[in-house]
Amino acid sequence: MKRVAGIILAAGEGRRMGRTKQLLPFRGKSILEWVVESALASSLHRVVVVVGHQAERMVPLLQGRSVELALNPEYRQGQSSSLSCGLRLLGAETDAALFLLGDQPLITPALIDTLVRSYQASPAPIVMPMYRGKRGNPVLFDRETFPAIERLDADCGARPLFQQYQGRLLQVPVEDAAIHFDIDTAADYRRLLETEAAGEAGAQAIINSSSRERIPS
């Protein structure tokens, strides 16, 4: 059975938000803690958290959890630097990496497991969730793609790989608008807080209202 590691990208400064969004409170915890707990509750065989900006505040939140920390001193260069930083902790026992955004607290263990199972049943080098015809996060990358990720420019993310591996992408339809919902702005955060009291159906409506295509990594 192919094994998948989770890499949580939590090193960014949150410039559009104006504060460190991973540390914002949500349902009694930080946003980052919710992402970590979903990853740990899934079938991922190990979980790496890439930290950078305000790492000294994030590390204590993760103590006692079965995660590995990767400090990215070059986080200001862009998200690609965090992708590479996380991959460097993975050994030959890992067949693929699922990159999770540290500001997507509504991603569930069930969604993660759906992507892992889809990858295990397919030869595709990249597996991505699709909701209503739009791709979202998190996205899974087979070890085959790791050298290409390492060569990426620091500020471009993994977007160029979608073109490079076009025709070999596995798009997995899901019924979860949360794959399009991350916390980039104060308005996003307000919508997230609104989901707390909205119930499942109401929360989906709120997420759908702000849903937009987010390119992973």
Name the DSSP letter for residue 52. Answer: B
Q: What tokens appear for 193 in the block?
A: 């807080």
Name which residue leads in pLDDT, 123 or 206: 123
Report percent pLDDT > 70 for the chain: 93
Of 207 and 183, the one with more pLDDT: 183
CB 73 within 8 A of CB 50: no
152 found inside a domain: yes
Q: Note whether residue 141 is domain-resident.
A: yes
Expressed as residue numbers, the domain containing 19 is: 4-209
Number of domains present in the structure of the chain? 1
Within the chain, how many helices (H) and strands (E) appear? 8, 10
Closest to 192 measured CA to CA, from 203, 202, 201, 205: 203
At 110, which CATH number?
Answer: 3.90.550.10
Q: State pLDDT tens for residues 55-75.
A: 999 999 999 999 999 999 999
152 vs 175: CA distance, rounded Å: 31
Decide if 215 is inside a domain: no
